[in-house]
Amino acid sequence: MSDFYQSAQLQALLLGAAAGIVGTIVLLRRRSFFTVALTHASFPGAVIASLLGLNVVLGAGLFSLVLVGVLTLISRVRRQGAQVATGVVLTGGFALGMLLQSMFPSRTGDVGTYLIGSILTVSRTDLIATSIVLAAAVLVVAVWGNNLLFSSFDPIGYRAAGFSAIAIDVVALGLIAAMVAVTMPAAGSILSIAIIVAPAATARLITGRIHLLMPLASAIAVASLLAGLEASRAWNVAAGGAMSLAAAAVFAVVLVIRTITDRVRMRHG
């Protein structure tokens, strides 16, 4: 087995483990649309990094952090909600990335590299960055896990208890931004959302026990990414698309099974 394929497998393992944790946070805090916006709007960060000769992950990561700040400011403007702010940033950021890429096509390469990614070409730097994000996700859950749950399910009570809602939100948003950045080289800016959110959504269909969601989501994510990677190798198709489709397919199958079992239970209840 070639070294580049082993690196791709390792990246799939690391991404899956991290996606299970971060994706669960995304769902519990109802930040799915925000994550969609971030995956698309971080696109210009990758293009700018390419223009400057920097690592794509670094560019996407730094730009994502800037976007988190912009989203926070816009969402606090009177008569503007978080959904409006997210929509504006999504379209504006993606448009900026396309504009920059069209202006400097020879220096930014194929736009498909940023949109759909290529896990088969991940570098050692990408693997290290993903490992750091995985470690950070574990650390955040270990240190602020209870705060994340409390603020997610009862934001009013969380503030009434004297905790800073802004601080815990920044921690969560920063972690999501970092996850988006490290997923981009493997799955691109368009397909990253499936890898981050679908496994956690699947786990939520299977169990309602909070303490089981993250490990189950991580297991589903790792299995989906590795299965998609193997499928891309066997059938010579795009790895990013195969991995994202695998994650979506698992969700669809579990959803159908859950729907059928719920209806059967209701009939015999």
In tens, the pLDDT along 194-247 reads: 999 999 999 999 998 999 999 999 999 999 999 999 999 999 998 999 999 999
3-state secondary structure of 76: coil
What six digits make up the tokens of 189?
């800016």
Q: Is residue 198 part of a domain?
A: no
What does 156-183 look like in DSSP terms, one character per residue?
HHHHHTT--HHHHHHHHHHHHHHHHHHH
pLDDT tops 90 at residue 71: no
189 versus 78: the higher-pLDDT residue is 189
Q: Is residue 52 part of a domain?
A: yes
Q: Is residue 200 part of a domain?
A: no
In tens, the pLDDT along 123-155 reads: 999 999 999 999 999 999 999 999 999 999 999
Q: Is residue 250 part of a domain?
A: no
Q: Is residue 219 part of a domain?
A: no
In tens, the pLDDT along 1-21 reads: 678 899 999 999 999 999 999
The CATH number assigned to the domain holding 23 equals: 1.10.3470.10
pLDDT score recorded for residue 86: 72
pLDDT band at 94 (very low <50, low <70, confident <90, very high): confident
- Segments forming the whole domain that contains residue 86: 3-189
Q: Whole-angstrom Cα distance, residue 163 to residue 56?
A: 36
Nearest-5° angle of CA 92, CA 95, CA 99?
A: 135
pLDDT band at 74 (very low <50, low <70, confident <90, very high): low
pLDDT tops 70 at residue 103: yes
Task: Please list, in sequence order, all residues whose beta carbon lies within 8 angstroms of the beta carbon of residue 208, skipping any fewer than 6 positions away.
Answer: none
Using the CB atoms, write b or e for 141-158: b if 16+ within 10 Å: beebeebbbbbbeeeeeb
Q: Is residue 222 part of a domain?
A: no
Q: Is residue 109 part of a domain?
A: yes
pLDDT score recorded for residue 75: 62
pLDDT tops 80 at residue 79: no
Question: Alpha helix (H) ranges present in the chain?
Answer: 3-28, 32-41, 43-52, 56-75, 82-103, 105-108, 112-115, 124-153, 155-160, 165-206, 210-235, 239-267
Average pLDDT, the chain: 88
Domain count, the chain: 1
Most confident of 36-45, 47-56, 134-143, 155-164: 134-143
pLDDT score recorded for residue 1: 62
Q: What's the predicted TM-score (pTM) here?
A: 0.89
Q: Whole-angstrom Cα distance, residue 56 to residue 43?
A: 10
pLDDT band at 102 (very low <50, low <70, confident <90, very high): confident
pLDDT score recorded for residue 82: 63
Q: Is residue 214 part of a domain?
A: no
What six digits make up the tokens of 65?
């952090």
Sign of CA pseudo-dihedral 244, 246, 247, 249: positive
